[in-house]
Structure 1
Amino acid sequence: MVSNFRQKEILDLARTDGKVTVDGLAKRYDVTVQTIRRDLAELAASGRLERVHGGAVIASGVVNIEYAERQQLNADGKARIARACAQAIPNGASVFLNIGTTTEAVAHALLDHENLLVVTNNTNIATILAANRSCEIILTGGVLRRADGGLVGMLAAEMVGQFKFDLSVLGCSAIDADGDLLDFDEQEVLVSRRAIDRSRQVMIVADHDKFRRKAPLSIASLADADALFTDQPLDAPLQARCAQWGTRVILGP
Protein backbone atom coordinates (compact mmCIF):
# COMPACT_ATOMS: atom_id res chain seq x y z
CA MET A 1 0.00 0.00 0.00
CA VAL A 2 1.43 3.35 -0.98
CA SER A 3 2.18 5.70 1.87
CA ASN A 4 -0.52 8.33 1.25
CA PHE A 5 -3.32 5.73 1.24
CA ARG A 6 -1.90 4.05 4.32
CA GLN A 7 -1.69 7.39 6.10
CA LYS A 8 -5.32 8.15 5.26
CA GLU A 9 -6.35 4.83 6.79
CA ILE A 10 -4.17 5.49 9.84
CA LEU A 11 -6.01 8.78 10.36
CA ASP A 12 -9.36 7.04 10.06
CA LEU A 13 -8.27 4.43 12.62
CA ALA A 14 -7.09 7.11 15.02
CA ARG A 15 -10.42 8.93 14.75
CA THR A 16 -12.32 5.68 15.39
CA ASP A 17 -10.15 4.18 18.16
CA GLY A 18 -8.76 7.35 19.72
CA LYS A 19 -5.18 6.10 19.41
CA VAL A 20 -3.01 4.03 17.08
CA THR A 21 0.15 2.15 18.06
CA VAL A 22 3.33 1.62 16.08
CA ASP A 23 3.37 -2.14 16.69
CA GLY A 24 -0.31 -2.56 15.87
CA LEU A 25 -0.04 -0.63 12.61
CA ALA A 26 3.12 -2.49 11.57
CA LYS A 27 1.29 -5.80 11.98
CA ARG A 28 -1.84 -4.52 10.28
CA TYR A 29 0.01 -3.34 7.16
CA ASP A 30 2.83 -5.90 7.26
CA VAL A 31 5.52 -3.24 7.19
CA THR A 32 8.42 -2.38 9.49
CA VAL A 33 7.99 -0.27 12.60
CA GLN A 34 10.41 2.22 11.03
CA THR A 35 8.00 2.66 8.12
CA ILE A 36 5.09 3.31 10.50
CA ARG A 37 7.17 5.75 12.54
CA ARG A 38 7.86 7.71 9.33
CA ASP A 39 4.13 7.74 8.54
CA LEU A 40 3.29 9.00 12.01
CA ALA A 41 6.07 11.59 11.89
CA GLU A 42 4.71 12.96 8.59
CA LEU A 43 1.15 13.04 9.95
CA ALA A 44 2.35 14.80 13.11
CA ALA A 45 4.37 17.33 11.10
CA SER A 46 1.22 18.20 9.15
CA GLY A 47 -0.70 18.69 12.39
CA ARG A 48 -3.14 15.84 11.84
CA LEU A 49 -1.80 13.52 14.56
CA GLU A 50 -0.08 14.07 17.89
CA ARG A 51 2.77 11.68 18.70
CA VAL A 52 2.56 9.88 22.05
CA HIS A 53 4.64 7.08 23.55
CA GLY A 54 4.33 4.05 21.29
CA GLY A 55 1.97 5.61 18.79
CA ALA A 56 -0.20 8.66 18.08
CA VAL A 57 -3.56 10.29 18.81
CA ILE A 58 -5.71 12.70 16.86
CA ALA A 59 -4.55 16.31 17.21
CA SER A 60 -7.61 18.18 18.47
CA GLY A 61 -8.23 21.88 18.69
CA VAL A 62 -11.25 21.54 20.98
CA VAL A 63 -10.48 18.53 23.22
CA ASN A 64 -7.24 18.14 25.14
CA ILE A 65 -5.04 15.05 24.95
CA GLU A 66 -5.54 12.61 27.82
CA TYR A 67 -3.35 13.34 30.84
CA ALA A 68 -1.51 9.99 30.75
CA GLU A 69 -0.62 10.61 27.13
CA ARG A 70 0.56 14.16 27.86
CA GLN A 71 2.89 12.79 30.52
CA GLN A 72 4.66 10.78 27.82
CA LEU A 73 4.98 13.61 25.32
CA ASN A 74 8.53 15.04 25.08
CA ALA A 75 9.45 14.18 28.67
CA ASP A 76 13.11 15.00 28.02
CA GLY A 77 12.29 18.43 26.61
CA LYS A 78 10.04 19.20 29.58
CA ALA A 79 12.79 18.16 32.00
CA ARG A 80 15.24 20.54 30.30
CA ILE A 81 12.71 23.36 30.45
CA ALA A 82 12.10 22.60 34.12
CA ARG A 83 15.79 22.76 35.00
CA ALA A 84 16.18 26.13 33.29
CA CYS A 85 13.08 27.50 34.99
CA ALA A 86 14.11 26.22 38.43
CA GLN A 87 17.48 27.98 38.05
CA ALA A 88 15.60 31.27 37.69
CA ILE A 89 13.63 30.74 40.93
CA PRO A 90 15.49 31.91 44.04
CA ASN A 91 15.34 30.22 47.42
CA GLY A 92 12.78 31.83 49.71
CA ALA A 93 10.42 32.82 46.90
CA SER A 94 6.63 32.65 46.88
CA VAL A 95 5.57 30.76 43.76
CA PHE A 96 2.32 29.76 42.06
CA LEU A 97 2.37 26.63 39.88
CA ASN A 98 -0.65 25.73 37.78
CA ILE A 99 -1.94 22.52 36.22
CA GLY A 100 0.19 20.72 33.66
CA THR A 101 2.84 18.10 33.04
CA THR A 102 5.50 20.75 32.39
CA THR A 103 4.79 22.54 35.65
CA GLU A 104 4.97 19.15 37.36
CA ALA A 105 8.45 18.76 35.86
CA VAL A 106 9.31 22.17 37.37
CA ALA A 107 8.15 20.88 40.76
CA HIS A 108 10.59 17.97 40.48
CA ALA A 109 13.37 20.45 39.63
CA LEU A 110 12.55 22.47 42.76
CA LEU A 111 13.08 19.64 45.22
CA ASP A 112 16.50 20.97 46.27
CA HIS A 113 15.31 24.56 46.71
CA GLU A 114 14.98 25.93 50.22
CA ASN A 115 12.23 27.83 52.02
CA LEU A 116 9.80 28.11 49.14
CA LEU A 117 6.15 28.97 49.59
CA VAL A 118 4.32 27.19 46.78
CA VAL A 119 0.63 27.71 46.07
CA THR A 120 -0.82 25.37 43.48
CA ASN A 121 -4.10 24.14 42.04
CA ASN A 122 -2.37 20.91 41.03
CA THR A 123 -2.59 18.03 43.52
CA ASN A 124 0.21 16.21 41.69
CA ILE A 125 2.56 19.15 42.32
CA ALA A 126 1.64 19.17 46.00
CA THR A 127 2.51 15.47 46.20
CA ILE A 128 5.83 15.96 44.39
CA LEU A 129 6.92 18.88 46.56
CA ALA A 130 5.91 17.14 49.79
CA ALA A 131 9.35 15.49 49.60
CA ASN A 132 10.95 18.93 50.09
CA ARG A 133 10.72 19.42 53.86
CA SER A 134 11.57 23.13 53.69
CA CYS A 135 8.81 23.90 51.19
CA GLU A 136 5.49 25.21 52.49
CA ILE A 137 2.69 23.99 50.22
CA ILE A 138 -0.79 25.47 49.92
CA LEU A 139 -3.52 23.88 47.78
CA THR A 140 -6.11 26.30 46.46
CA GLY A 141 -9.24 24.25 46.87
CA GLY A 142 -11.80 24.23 44.09
CA VAL A 143 -13.51 21.60 41.96
CA LEU A 144 -11.34 18.50 41.52
CA ARG A 145 -10.73 17.57 37.89
CA ARG A 146 -10.18 13.85 38.30
CA ALA A 147 -8.52 13.39 34.92
CA ASP A 148 -5.35 15.24 35.94
CA GLY A 149 -5.61 16.16 39.62
CA GLY A 150 -6.35 19.81 38.89
CA LEU A 151 -8.40 22.11 41.13
CA VAL A 152 -10.37 24.57 39.05
CA GLY A 153 -13.20 27.08 39.14
CA MET A 154 -14.09 30.28 40.95
CA LEU A 155 -13.15 28.99 44.42
CA ALA A 156 -9.61 28.21 43.19
CA ALA A 157 -9.36 31.60 41.47
CA GLU A 158 -10.54 33.44 44.59
CA MET A 159 -7.93 31.63 46.71
CA VAL A 160 -5.18 32.64 44.27
CA GLY A 161 -6.43 36.22 44.47
CA GLN A 162 -5.57 36.35 48.18
CA PHE A 163 -1.82 36.17 47.44
CA LYS A 164 0.81 38.39 45.88
CA PHE A 165 3.38 36.00 44.41
CA ASP A 166 7.01 36.70 43.67
CA LEU A 167 6.41 34.73 40.50
CA SER A 168 4.02 32.38 38.76
CA VAL A 169 5.11 29.43 36.65
CA LEU A 170 2.35 28.66 34.17
CA GLY A 171 1.84 26.04 31.53
CA CYS A 172 -0.81 26.13 28.81
CA SER A 173 -2.29 23.79 26.22
CA ALA A 174 -1.18 25.73 23.14
CA ILE A 175 0.52 28.93 22.00
CA ASP A 176 -0.73 30.62 18.85
CA ALA A 177 1.53 32.16 16.22
CA ASP A 178 0.65 35.63 17.52
CA GLY A 179 1.76 34.71 21.03
CA ASP A 180 -1.64 34.03 22.60
CA LEU A 181 -1.59 31.45 25.43
CA LEU A 182 -4.48 29.03 24.93
CA ASP A 183 -6.35 26.39 26.91
CA PHE A 184 -9.42 24.14 26.81
CA ASP A 185 -11.14 24.61 30.18
CA GLU A 186 -12.63 28.00 31.07
CA GLN A 187 -12.53 27.03 34.76
CA GLU A 188 -8.78 26.53 34.52
CA VAL A 189 -8.34 29.74 32.53
CA LEU A 190 -9.92 31.71 35.40
CA VAL A 191 -7.21 30.49 37.76
CA SER A 192 -4.31 31.18 35.38
CA ARG A 193 -5.55 34.71 34.64
CA ARG A 194 -5.84 35.46 38.35
CA ALA A 195 -2.32 34.17 38.95
CA ILE A 196 -0.96 36.49 36.26
CA ASP A 197 -2.72 39.43 37.90
CA ARG A 198 -1.29 38.55 41.32
CA SER A 199 2.36 37.94 40.33
CA ARG A 200 5.39 40.20 40.22
CA GLN A 201 6.90 38.00 37.51
CA VAL A 202 5.24 35.56 35.13
CA MET A 203 7.15 32.61 33.68
CA ILE A 204 5.62 30.48 30.93
CA VAL A 205 6.86 26.91 30.45
CA ALA A 206 5.98 25.30 27.12
CA ASP A 207 7.74 22.80 24.90
CA HIS A 208 7.86 23.08 21.12
CA ASP A 209 4.78 20.87 20.66
CA LYS A 210 2.61 23.62 22.20
CA PHE A 211 3.38 25.89 19.23
CA ARG A 212 1.83 23.32 16.85
CA ARG A 213 -1.40 22.82 18.76
CA LYS A 214 -4.67 24.69 18.94
CA ALA A 215 -7.09 25.35 21.79
CA PRO A 216 -10.23 27.50 21.86
CA LEU A 217 -9.77 29.72 24.94
CA SER A 218 -7.31 32.58 25.44
CA ILE A 219 -5.57 32.95 28.82
CA ALA A 220 -3.29 35.89 28.05
CA SER A 221 -0.41 36.76 25.73
CA LEU A 222 3.31 36.16 25.87
CA ALA A 223 3.40 39.96 26.04
CA ASP A 224 2.12 39.56 29.61
CA ALA A 225 5.01 37.26 30.56
CA ASP A 226 8.49 38.12 31.76
CA ALA A 227 10.03 34.92 30.41
CA LEU A 228 9.22 31.93 28.22
CA PHE A 229 11.10 28.70 28.90
CA THR A 230 11.04 26.29 25.98
CA ASP A 231 13.13 23.58 24.35
CA GLN A 232 13.54 24.73 20.74
CA PRO A 233 14.07 28.12 19.08
CA LEU A 234 10.91 30.03 18.19
CA ASP A 235 9.93 30.89 14.65
CA ALA A 236 11.52 34.19 13.68
CA PRO A 237 8.29 36.30 13.69
CA LEU A 238 7.31 35.20 17.20
CA GLN A 239 10.88 35.59 18.43
CA ALA A 240 10.82 39.17 17.13
CA ARG A 241 7.51 39.85 18.89
CA CYS A 242 8.89 38.53 22.17
CA ALA A 243 11.89 40.82 21.81
CA GLN A 244 9.56 43.76 21.16
CA TRP A 245 7.45 42.89 24.23
CA GLY A 246 10.50 42.39 26.43
CA THR A 247 9.66 38.72 27.00
CA ARG A 248 12.87 36.75 27.48
CA VAL A 249 13.05 33.44 25.62
CA ILE A 250 15.18 30.88 27.44
CA LEU A 251 16.02 27.47 25.99
CA GLY A 252 16.40 24.55 28.35
CA PRO A 253 20.00 23.22 28.37
Structure 2
Amino acid sequence: MTDHKADDDEPITPRQEAIVARVQQYGFVAIEALAREFDITPQTVRRDINALCARRLLQRYHGGAGLPPSTENLAYETREGLHADAKRRIADLAATHIPDHAAVAIGLGTTAQAVGLALKGHRGLRAITNNLRVAATLSASDSNEVMLAGGIVRQIDAGVTGESAIDFFRSFRVDYALMSISGIEEDGSLMDFDYHEVRLLQAILASARRRFLLADASKYRRHALIRVANISDFDALFTDRRPSGELARVVADAGVAVYVTDTP
Protein backbone atom coordinates (compact mmCIF):
# COMPACT_ATOMS: atom_id res chain seq x y z
CA MET A 1 0.00 0.00 0.00
CA THR A 2 1.29 3.47 -0.84
CA ASP A 3 1.78 5.78 2.15
CA HIS A 4 0.16 9.17 1.83
CA LYS A 5 1.60 12.28 3.45
CA ALA A 6 -0.81 13.81 5.95
CA ASP A 7 -2.15 17.29 5.33
CA ASP A 8 -1.25 19.26 8.46
CA ASP A 9 -4.26 21.50 7.85
CA GLU A 10 -6.63 18.57 8.36
CA PRO A 11 -7.78 18.20 11.97
CA ILE A 12 -6.96 15.05 13.89
CA THR A 13 -10.00 12.80 14.01
CA PRO A 14 -11.41 11.47 17.31
CA ARG A 15 -10.31 7.97 16.33
CA GLN A 16 -6.76 9.14 15.59
CA GLU A 17 -6.65 10.94 18.94
CA ALA A 18 -7.79 7.73 20.64
CA ILE A 19 -5.03 5.78 18.86
CA VAL A 20 -2.44 8.24 20.15
CA ALA A 21 -3.88 7.85 23.67
CA ARG A 22 -3.55 4.05 23.47
CA VAL A 23 0.07 4.26 22.37
CA GLN A 24 0.86 6.76 25.11
CA GLN A 25 -0.75 4.45 27.64
CA TYR A 26 0.97 1.22 26.57
CA GLY A 27 4.09 2.39 24.72
CA PHE A 28 3.32 0.21 21.67
CA VAL A 29 0.08 -1.00 20.11
CA ALA A 30 -0.28 -3.57 17.33
CA ILE A 31 -2.24 -2.78 14.17
CA GLU A 32 -4.41 -5.86 14.60
CA ALA A 33 -5.32 -4.89 18.17
CA LEU A 34 -6.34 -1.41 17.05
CA ALA A 35 -8.40 -2.84 14.22
CA ARG A 36 -10.33 -5.04 16.66
CA GLU A 37 -10.81 -2.26 19.22
CA PHE A 38 -12.19 0.27 16.71
CA ASP A 39 -13.90 -2.30 14.46
CA ILE A 40 -12.08 -1.13 11.35
CA THR A 41 -9.81 -2.82 8.83
CA PRO A 42 -6.04 -3.06 9.32
CA GLN A 43 -5.67 -0.94 6.18
CA THR A 44 -7.64 1.87 7.82
CA VAL A 45 -5.48 1.60 10.93
CA ARG A 46 -2.35 1.88 8.77
CA ARG A 47 -3.70 5.03 7.10
CA ASP A 48 -4.38 6.56 10.50
CA ILE A 49 -0.92 5.60 11.75
CA ASN A 50 0.73 7.03 8.64
CA ALA A 51 -1.12 10.31 9.13
CA LEU A 52 -0.11 10.45 12.79
CA CYS A 53 3.51 9.61 12.01
CA ALA A 54 3.59 12.44 9.46
CA ARG A 55 2.64 14.76 12.32
CA ARG A 56 5.33 13.14 14.53
CA LEU A 57 2.70 12.00 17.01
CA LEU A 58 3.68 8.34 16.57
CA GLN A 59 6.62 6.28 15.33
CA ARG A 60 5.89 3.46 12.87
CA TYR A 61 7.27 0.04 13.74
CA HIS A 62 6.78 -3.38 12.20
CA GLY A 63 3.26 -4.51 13.03
CA GLY A 64 2.20 -1.41 14.91
CA ALA A 65 3.12 1.99 16.29
CA GLY A 66 5.02 3.32 19.28
CA LEU A 67 6.05 6.60 20.81
CA PRO A 68 8.30 8.96 18.85
CA PRO A 69 11.83 9.80 20.08
CA SER A 70 12.02 11.89 23.26
CA THR A 71 14.44 14.50 21.90
CA GLU A 72 11.98 16.96 20.34
CA ASN A 73 8.44 18.19 20.93
CA LEU A 74 5.51 18.24 18.54
CA ALA A 75 4.76 21.25 16.39
CA TYR A 76 2.76 23.90 18.28
CA GLU A 77 -0.12 23.71 15.79
CA THR A 78 -0.35 19.96 16.35
CA ARG A 79 -0.30 20.30 20.15
CA GLU A 80 -2.91 23.04 19.98
CA GLY A 81 -5.44 20.68 18.40
CA LEU A 82 -4.55 17.61 20.43
CA HIS A 83 -6.65 16.91 23.56
CA ALA A 84 -8.04 20.45 23.23
CA ASP A 85 -11.27 19.68 25.08
CA ALA A 86 -9.42 18.04 27.97
CA LYS A 87 -7.09 21.03 28.25
CA ARG A 88 -10.04 23.42 28.29
CA ARG A 89 -11.81 21.46 31.05
CA ILE A 90 -8.62 21.22 33.10
CA ALA A 91 -7.99 24.95 32.77
CA ASP A 92 -11.59 25.72 33.73
CA LEU A 93 -11.27 23.53 36.84
CA ALA A 94 -7.98 25.10 37.90
CA ALA A 95 -9.45 28.59 37.42
CA THR A 96 -12.08 27.83 40.08
CA HIS A 97 -9.22 27.54 42.61
CA ILE A 98 -7.82 30.99 41.79
CA PRO A 99 -9.51 33.81 43.71
CA ASP A 100 -10.07 37.30 42.37
CA HIS A 101 -7.27 39.77 43.11
CA ALA A 102 -4.61 37.05 43.14
CA ALA A 103 -1.13 37.36 41.64
CA VAL A 104 -0.54 34.53 39.15
CA ALA A 105 2.37 33.40 36.99
CA ILE A 106 1.56 31.69 33.69
CA GLY A 107 4.08 30.29 31.24
CA LEU A 108 4.07 28.93 27.70
CA GLY A 109 2.19 26.16 25.94
CA THR A 110 -1.25 25.23 24.71
CA THR A 111 -2.56 24.48 28.21
CA ALA A 112 -1.36 27.91 29.38
CA GLN A 113 -3.35 29.45 26.56
CA ALA A 114 -6.45 27.64 27.84
CA VAL A 115 -5.71 28.95 31.34
CA GLY A 116 -5.72 32.51 30.04
CA LEU A 117 -9.17 32.00 28.56
CA ALA A 118 -10.42 30.33 31.75
CA LEU A 119 -9.27 33.26 33.89
CA LYS A 120 -10.57 36.08 31.73
CA GLY A 121 -13.74 36.37 33.85
CA HIS A 122 -11.74 36.95 37.03
CA ARG A 123 -11.34 40.45 38.43
CA GLY A 124 -8.36 42.23 39.89
CA LEU A 125 -5.78 39.66 38.78
CA ARG A 126 -2.12 40.58 38.55
CA ALA A 127 -0.79 38.24 35.89
CA ILE A 128 2.94 37.67 35.31
CA THR A 129 3.57 35.95 31.98
CA ASN A 130 5.88 35.48 29.03
CA ASN A 131 3.00 34.36 26.82
CA LEU A 132 1.76 37.05 24.43
CA ARG A 133 -1.51 35.21 23.83
CA VAL A 134 -2.26 34.95 27.55
CA ALA A 135 -1.31 38.60 28.02
CA ALA A 136 -3.70 39.69 25.26
CA THR A 137 -6.55 37.62 26.71
CA LEU A 138 -6.21 38.82 30.30
CA SER A 139 -5.46 42.45 29.44
CA ALA A 140 -8.82 42.68 27.65
CA SER A 141 -10.37 43.13 31.11
CA ASP A 142 -10.03 46.61 32.58
CA SER A 143 -9.76 45.18 36.10
CA ASN A 144 -6.72 42.95 35.45
CA GLU A 145 -3.09 44.04 35.39
CA VAL A 146 -0.71 42.12 33.13
CA MET A 147 3.08 42.28 33.41
CA LEU A 148 4.84 40.85 30.36
CA ALA A 149 8.39 39.56 30.24
CA GLY A 150 10.83 41.12 27.85
CA GLY A 151 13.05 39.05 25.61
CA ILE A 152 12.98 37.21 22.30
CA VAL A 153 9.54 36.47 20.83
CA ARG A 154 9.17 33.00 19.30
CA GLN A 155 6.99 33.06 16.22
CA ILE A 156 5.83 29.46 16.69
CA ASP A 157 3.87 30.14 19.88
CA ALA A 158 4.13 33.89 20.68
CA GLY A 159 6.28 33.05 23.70
CA VAL A 160 8.95 35.36 25.09
CA THR A 161 12.22 33.61 25.97
CA GLY A 162 15.80 34.45 26.87
CA GLU A 163 17.78 35.45 29.94
CA SER A 164 15.77 38.62 30.50
CA ALA A 165 12.55 36.57 30.68
CA ILE A 166 14.13 34.28 33.28
CA ASP A 167 15.30 37.26 35.33
CA PHE A 168 11.81 38.75 35.03
CA PHE A 169 10.17 35.79 36.78
CA ARG A 170 12.90 35.65 39.42
CA SER A 171 12.04 39.20 40.52
CA PHE A 172 8.47 38.29 41.58
CA ARG A 173 6.79 36.42 44.40
CA VAL A 174 3.29 35.46 43.27
CA ASP A 175 0.38 33.69 44.95
CA TYR A 176 -0.05 30.98 42.30
CA ALA A 177 1.94 29.47 39.44
CA LEU A 178 -0.08 27.59 36.82
CA MET A 179 2.18 25.34 34.78
CA SER A 180 1.97 22.61 32.19
CA ILE A 181 4.61 20.10 31.19
CA SER A 182 5.49 17.85 28.26
CA GLY A 183 5.71 14.59 30.15
CA ILE A 184 5.41 12.97 33.59
CA GLU A 185 7.44 9.85 34.31
CA GLU A 186 6.49 7.09 36.73
CA ASP A 187 8.79 8.42 39.48
CA GLY A 188 7.11 11.83 39.28
CA SER A 189 9.82 13.51 37.23
CA LEU A 190 8.42 16.34 35.11
CA MET A 191 10.05 16.44 31.72
CA ASP A 192 10.37 18.88 28.83
CA PHE A 193 12.22 19.15 25.53
CA ASP A 194 13.81 22.60 25.41
CA TYR A 195 16.60 23.52 27.84
CA HIS A 196 15.85 27.24 27.65
CA GLU A 197 12.15 26.68 28.32
CA VAL A 198 13.01 24.39 31.24
CA ARG A 199 14.96 27.22 32.88
CA LEU A 200 11.92 29.46 32.45
CA LEU A 201 9.66 26.85 34.02
CA GLN A 202 12.02 26.50 36.97
CA ALA A 203 12.03 30.28 37.46
CA ILE A 204 8.21 30.31 37.41
CA LEU A 205 8.12 27.45 39.91
CA ALA A 206 10.48 29.29 42.27
CA SER A 207 8.41 32.47 42.07
CA ALA A 208 5.21 31.02 43.57
CA ARG A 209 3.82 30.35 47.02
CA ARG A 210 1.39 27.77 45.62
CA ARG A 211 2.06 25.70 42.53
CA PHE A 212 -0.57 24.11 40.31
CA LEU A 213 0.34 21.54 37.64
CA LEU A 214 -2.13 21.20 34.76
CA ALA A 215 -1.69 18.02 32.73
CA ASP A 216 -4.04 15.89 30.67
CA ALA A 217 -3.64 12.12 30.88
CA SER A 218 -1.63 11.96 27.64
CA LYS A 219 1.31 13.37 29.64
CA TYR A 220 1.51 10.28 31.85
CA ARG A 221 4.46 8.11 30.83
CA ARG A 222 5.35 10.52 28.02
CA HIS A 223 9.12 10.87 27.83
CA ALA A 224 11.17 13.99 27.14
CA LEU A 225 14.82 14.84 27.39
CA ILE A 226 15.20 17.33 30.25
CA ARG A 227 14.03 17.19 33.86
CA VAL A 228 12.23 20.29 35.13
CA ALA A 229 11.20 19.28 38.66
CA ASN A 230 9.27 16.57 40.46
CA ILE A 231 5.51 16.42 40.90
CA SER A 232 6.15 16.52 44.66
CA ASP A 233 7.19 20.17 44.19
CA PHE A 234 3.55 21.03 43.44
CA ASP A 235 0.58 21.62 45.71
CA ALA A 236 -2.04 20.30 43.29
CA LEU A 237 -2.46 18.38 40.05
CA PHE A 238 -5.38 19.22 37.77
CA THR A 239 -6.07 16.50 35.22
CA ASP A 240 -8.74 14.58 33.31
CA ARG A 241 -7.73 11.18 34.72
CA ARG A 242 -6.18 10.17 38.02
CA PRO A 243 -2.64 8.85 37.81
CA SER A 244 -2.22 5.14 38.41
CA GLY A 245 0.53 2.71 39.41
CA GLU A 246 3.81 4.03 40.74
CA LEU A 247 2.96 7.61 39.83
CA ALA A 248 -0.19 7.46 41.95
CA ARG A 249 1.91 6.32 44.93
CA VAL A 250 4.42 9.16 44.40
CA VAL A 251 1.59 11.71 44.24
CA ALA A 252 -0.08 10.33 47.38
CA ASP A 253 3.17 10.14 49.36
CA ALA A 254 3.97 13.75 48.48
CA GLY A 255 0.54 14.94 49.60
CA VAL A 256 -0.25 16.48 46.22
CA ALA A 257 -3.97 17.22 45.91
CA VAL A 258 -5.51 15.75 42.74
CA TYR A 259 -8.50 17.41 41.05
CA VAL A 260 -10.12 15.54 38.16
CA THR A 261 -12.46 17.10 35.61
CA ASP A 262 -15.93 15.77 35.04
CA THR A 263 -16.30 13.28 32.19
CA PRO A 264 -17.50 15.17 29.09
Q: CA 1:43–1:206 in 2, change beyond 3 Å: closer, same or farther? A: closer
Select 1:216's aligned residue among 198, 212, 225: 225
Q: Which runs of no fewer than 5 residues in structure 1 stay unpaired?
A: 1-5, 24-32
Give 1:30's aligned residue: none
Q: Tell me, in whole angstroms, the C-alpha distance in 2 between the residues paired with 1:198 and 1:34.
A: 38
Is 2:201 the partner of 1:192? yes
Whether the 8 Å contact between 2:205 and 2:211 is mirrored in structure 1 is yes
Identity rate of aligned residues, in percent? 32
Q: CA 1:87–1:237 in 2, change beyond 3 Å: closer, same or farther? A: same
How many equivalent pairs are there?
Answer: 227
Deviation at 1:194, TM superposition (A): 1.1
Give 2:192's aligned residue: 183
Deviation at 1:62, TM superposition (A): 0.9
Q: Tell me, in whole angstroms, the C-alpha distance in 2 between the residues paired with 1:77 and 1:20.
A: 24
Letter of the aligned partner of 2:237 in structure 1?
L
- After superposing on structure 2, the runs of 4+ consecutive aligned residues of structure 1 that deviate more than 3 Å are 33-49
> Can you list the C-alpha shifts for 1:185-207, whole angstroms capped at 9, x where unaligned?
11111111111112100101111
Give 1:245's aligned residue: 254
Of 122-131 and 169-178, deviating more is 122-131
Q: Tell me, in whole angstroms, the C-alpha distance in 1 between the residues paired with 2:198 and 2:125.
A: 25
Whether the 8 Å contact between 1:182 and 1:216 is mirrored in structure 2 is yes
Q: Secondary structure at the match of 1:240?
A: helix
Q: Tell me, in whole angstroms, the C-alpha distance in 2 between the residues paired with 1:208 and 1:81.
A: 11
Deviation at 1:92, TM superposition (A): 0.5
Give 1:26's aligned residue: none
Is 2:235 the partner of 1:235? no
Whether the 8 Å contact between 1:121 and 1:156 is mirrored in structure 2 is yes
Give 1:61's aligned residue: 70
Whether the 8 Å contact between 2:182 and 2:224 is mirrored in structure 1 is yes
Q: Secondary structure at the match of 2:220?
A: helix
Deviation at 1:211, TM superposition (A): 1.2
Letter of the aligned partner of 1:224 in structure 2?
D
Give 2:160's aligned residue: 151
Q: CA 1:174–1:20 in 2, change beyond 3 Å: closer, same or farther? A: farther
Q: Tell me, in whole angstroms, the C-alpha distance in 2 between the residues paired with 1:151 and 1:89.
A: 24
Q: CA 1:38–1:217 in 2, change beyond 3 Å: closer, same or farther? A: closer
> Can you list the C-alpha shifts for 1:176-228, whole angstroms capped at 9, x where unaligned?
11111111111111111111112100101111111142110111010100011
Letter of the aligned partner of 1:252 in structure 2?
T
Q: Tell me, in whole angstroms, the C-alpha distance in 1 between the residues paired with 2:183 and 2:122.
A: 29
